[in-house]
Chain A
Amino acid sequence: MVENQRGLDIFAHVVLLLGVATVAFPVYIAFVASTHTSTAFVSGTIPLLPSTHAPASYGDVLAGGVAAQMSVPISLMLFNSMVMALLIAAGKIVISVLSAFAIVYFRFPFRVLGFWIIFITLMLPVEVRIVPTFAVIADLGLLNSYAGLTVPLMASATATFLFRQVFLTIPDELTEAARIDGAGPMKFFRDILLPLSQTNIAALFVILFIYGWNQYLWPLLITTDSGYYTIVAGIKRMADVVESEPLWNYIMAVTVLAMLPPVAVVIFMQRLFVKGLVDSEK
């Protein structure tokens, strides 16, 4: 920061510690639940401290001991989730950055209409349009395929909107300078816009990766082959016991394991949006 104000720094730390404590509390509970036996969590006020059963829970899960519950090896589910997350995140970013570029930097008929049409996709969740959407997927022959799992989810209004905001803040002088230099639009896009959008692309990648990672209903609806199960589908399957108690320790153990790849992505992307490593001077 600019000046060195100890008071403000300490206050900031306190705020952050409180924030982390509240925001991370449910995650902490998940971890605690994974270290107890399956019955410890429904027999009285839930314990707040971890217990000693972690090796048993995690060992069982990783060694495939709960395969009975999920019917598919955990490695396969993690793989499917990874494929979906990466494809969707990459696809969304690529498509949206191009669309935003078109909308902001060009004038053409139906420009504004195009933006609103893209925006409307936020306003009708899958559950509401499940019957016709399923029919479309079936007609296109995309059931039980990675294409069907990822392509329909690649239109992202939030990403397009975000890039629009970012591009609008970029000074016109840069664009004029580029045009004077004889650079075409795509060169401008590649050499100037993309680098300046780096922090936002990184942030978006984290969010979109997690979005793809946590997909549950869409894969459930359009795949009947359990070889396409995602990790969240596996977790839900373990929790969906109708007339008895789920095995909470296993469910939470898998949940904690399922959070590791997104955390890895977050840590990896940090380098792109923490100050000092990004030249943000315009």
Chain B
Amino acid sequence: MQTKRTIFGNKGLPYLLLAPQLAITAVFFLWPAGQAVHQSFLREDAFGLSTTFVGLRNYRALMDNSEYLNALQVTVVFSIATVVLSLGLALILALAVDRMLRSAAAYTTLLIWPYAVAPAVAGILWWFIFNPSIGILPFVLEQTLGRDWNHNLSGQDAMILVVIAAVWKQISYNFLFFLAGLQSIPASLREAAAIDGAGPVKRFWTITLPLLSPTTFFLLVVNVVYTLFDTFAIIDATTGGGPAQATNILVYKVYDDGFVGLNLGSSAAQSVILMLIVMMLTFIQFRYVERKVTY
């Protein structure tokens, strides 16, 4: 991991600075997480009245389960689509706003505002827009392309819907940080390059993108984590993992089996596996992608 060359020498101060966050993390996260890991080795009823230690049985059952393997596949498709689209579109919008002088504030507000819509309500709005009977988009699609939209029956339609919903949520977030990153690139650098004859595209590749890379790296890692962990609410509000599990991503399965189905052992095992997958992905990103970042 990247580190600074020049540092301060205090010995005790860093621990003091880290203490609040570590304390909260330890009490409200590590301890419950440890319990959850413990639960993954148990088989118990919902109320915890009859508990049996079953070792790795929950994990082995998952490996044999075709539903779980399907979920893995669906997750890969969903995550890649969402991360690529939300980062790409947000970057384009941020670059466009960055050019603006007077209307920047207005555009920024309009683009961030949707992030303030509560996820619960966003689900309702997507239902209004995509509903096969009353939705506006199916109506338009049918009139213009003759395409019959029904995400209750077509797995493909369902995947498109959840990707749109997830990307929509993330665009505002990514846009905001891209903009902040762009705004902190010194104007003098760009001016110097322009004086040297570099056009806007060349400036983008040689100056903007490298200087934006710390932000881009941050957003890449965060977006991957978001798509893999925070998206079950969207799935729950739109397709419920269906039809026929076409949008049953890993974290939705965790939520469905645990929170809804009250099968806590299997759900805990699934979340442990998911955690390991993401830790590995994040580790790979820090090890290999961070090398390309210029600090």
Direct contact of A and B (CB under 8 A): yes
**A residues at B contact (CB < 8 Å):** 1-3, 5, 8-9, 12-13, 15-16, 19-20, 23-27, 29-30, 33, 41-46, 48, 95-96, 98-99, 101-108, 111-112, 114-115, 117-125, 127-133, 135-137, 140, 151-152, 154-155, 158, 160-162, 165-169, 172, 175-176, 179, 184-186, 188, 199-200, 202-203, 206-207, 210, 213-214, 216, 232, 235-236, 239, 251, 255, 258-259, 262-263, 266-267, 270, 273-276, 278, 280-282
Known A162-B218, A172-B5; contact A98-B21, beta-carbon cutoff 8 A:
yes
Say yes or no: is B282 at the interface (Cβ < 8 Å to chain A).
yes
Chain B, interface size category, equals 35 or more
Instruction: Decide: A23 and B229 in contact? CB cutoff 8 A.
Output: no
Instruction: Decide: A26 and B24 in contact? CB cutoff 8 A.
Output: no
Complex: how many Å from CA A176 to CA B8? Answer: 10
- Residue of B4, B259, B275 near A105 (CB, 8 A) is B4
Instruction: Decide: A16 and B264 in contact? CB cutoff 8 A.
Output: no
- Residue of B134, B187, B255 near A41 (CB, 8 A) is B134
Known A45-B139, A165-B215, A168-B295; contact A12-B28, beta-carbon cutoff 8 A:
no
Say yes or no: is B205 at the interface (Cβ < 8 Å to chain A).
no
Instruction: Decide: B24 and A202 in contact? CB cutoff 8 A.
Output: no
Complex: how many Å from CA A160 to CA B218? Answer: 11
Chain B residues touching A, majority SS = helix
A residues within 8 A CB of B110? 20, 23-24
Complex: how many Å from CA A1 to CA B191? Answer: 9
Instruction: Decide: B184 and A280 in contact? CB cutoff 8 A.
Output: yes
Complex: how many Å from CA A230 to CA B214? Answer: 36
26 A-B residue pairs with Cβ-Cβ distance under 8 Å, sorted by A, are A19-B89, A19-B96, A20-B111, A29-B128, A29-B129, A98-B17, A98-B20, A99-B21, A102-B18, A106-B10, A106-B14, A115-B1, A118-B21, A118-B25, A120-B279, A124-B275, A128-B258, A137-B28, A165-B218, A166-B214, A169-B295, A172-B5, A203-B180, A235-B120, A273-B180, A274-B183
- Residue of B24, B172, B267, B275 near A152 (CB, 8 A) is B24
Known A26-B122, A259-B116; contact A155-B225, beta-carbon cutoff 8 A:
no
Instruction: Decide: B183 and A278 in contact? CB cutoff 8 A.
Output: yes
For the A-B complex, the count of residue pairs with Cβ-Cβ distances under 8 Å equals 320
In the complex, what's the smallest C-beta–C-beta distance from B96 to chain A, in angstroms? 4
Complex: how many Å from CA A125 to CA B172? Answer: 21
Instruction: Decide: A136 and B14 in contact? CB cutoff 8 A.
Output: no
Using CB atoms, name the residue of chain A closest to B89: A19
Instruction: Decide: A127 and B180 in contact? CB cutoff 8 A.
Output: no
Instruction: Decide: B31 and A232 in contact? CB cutoff 8 A.
Output: no
Instruction: Decide: A45 and B33 in contact? CB cutoff 8 A.
Output: no
